[in-house]
């Protein structure tokens, strides 16, 4: 774990710094786990037992409808990952979480996080602030999907996350933006990036 401690600490300090005792307990709770490309981390229908922190690799959350995968989110270093709604409610996941690339993640189980949140106010504040940031991001994405046309969605995505164009297969990006893959390719060729 010590090899990844600095990455995790740098991430949480941007959200909410922790006191020394909180930091020590928090770091001790995270365990590294490795996944291969195309490996399912969480299967739809199962309950998410862990929250993850991405050290290396790219993952995507998706659901299947009429035999087609629809991507709802991407996670990559340094960020949290997991099926958050299932983790928070400890109910069945509506989406699957799969590795697009080989991945190294840190994870903490639900029960252990609950103990830490009750014991340390700083950890509770950190997760509250992180959840608030996630909610704001989800609301922005919801607005973009409903209010913007395909070209506007593409431009907003490219402005916000241009690095992902070279990291993630176009079929997943097109699905995430709710753009037909053919139209996505045309936009890639037509719009200056």
Share of the chain above pLDDT 70, in %: 98
Q: Give the tens place of pLDDT for each residue, 146-180.
A: 999 999 999 999 999 988 998 899 999 999 999 99
Q: What is the pLDDT of residue 9?
A: 86
pLDDT of residue 156: 93
Among candidates 100, 40, 101, 108, which has minimal Cα distance to 80? 108
From residue 178, give the alpha-carbon distance in Å to each of 93, 153, 186.
Answer: 21, 9, 14
Which two structure tokens, joined as six digits, stand for 81?
């990952």
Task: Please give the pLDDT value at position 7.
Answer: 86
As a whole number of angstroms, the distance between CA 44 and CA 12 comes to: 28
Pick from 74, 56, 51, 80: which is nearest to 3 by CA? 56
Residue 138 has pLDDT above 70, yes or no: yes
The Cα–Cα gap between 72 and 56 comes to 20
Residue 31 has what pLDDT? 95
Band the pLDDT of 193: cuts 50, 70, 90.
low
Q: Looking at residue 1, what is its pLDDT?
A: 54
pLDDT at 40 over 90: yes
Q: pLDDT tens for residues 65-77?
A: 998 999 999 999 9
The 10s digit of each residue's pLDDT in 7-26 is: 888 888 888 889 999 999 99
Domains of the chain in start order, with CATH, are 2-120 (2.60.120.10)
Mean pLDDT, the chain, whole residue set: 93
Q: Is the separation of the CB atoms in 100 and 25 below 8 Å?
A: no
DSSP state of 16: -
- Look at residue 191 and tell me whether its pLDDT is greater than 90: no
Global pTM value? 0.90
Residue 3 pLDDT greater than 80, yes or no: no
């Amino acid at each position: 774990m010590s090899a990844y401690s600095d990455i995790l600490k740098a991430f949480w300090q941007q959200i909410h710094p922790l006191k020394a005792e909180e930091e020590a307990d928090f770091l001790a709770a995270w365990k590294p786990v490795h996944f291969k490309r195309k490996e399912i981390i969480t299967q739809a229908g199962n309950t998410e037992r862990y929250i993850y922190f991405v050290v290396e690799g790219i993952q995507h959350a998706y659901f299947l409808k009429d035999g087609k995968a629809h991507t709802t989110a991407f996670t990559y270093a340094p960020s949290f990952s997991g099926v958050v709604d299932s983790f928070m409610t400890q109910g069945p996941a509506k989406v699957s979480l799969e590795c697009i690339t080989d991945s190294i993640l840190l994870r903490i189980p639900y029960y252990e996080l609950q103990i830490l949140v009750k014991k340390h106010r700083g950890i509770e504040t950190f997760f509250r602030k992180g959840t608030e940031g996630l909610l704001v991001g989800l609301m922005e994405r919801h607005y973009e999907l409903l209010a913007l046309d395909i070209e506007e969605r593409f431009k907003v995505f490219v402005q916000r996350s241009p690095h992902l164009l070279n990291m993630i297969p176009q079929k997943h990006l097109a699905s995430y933006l709710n753009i037909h893959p053919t139209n996505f390719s045309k936009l890639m060729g037509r719009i200056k990036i």
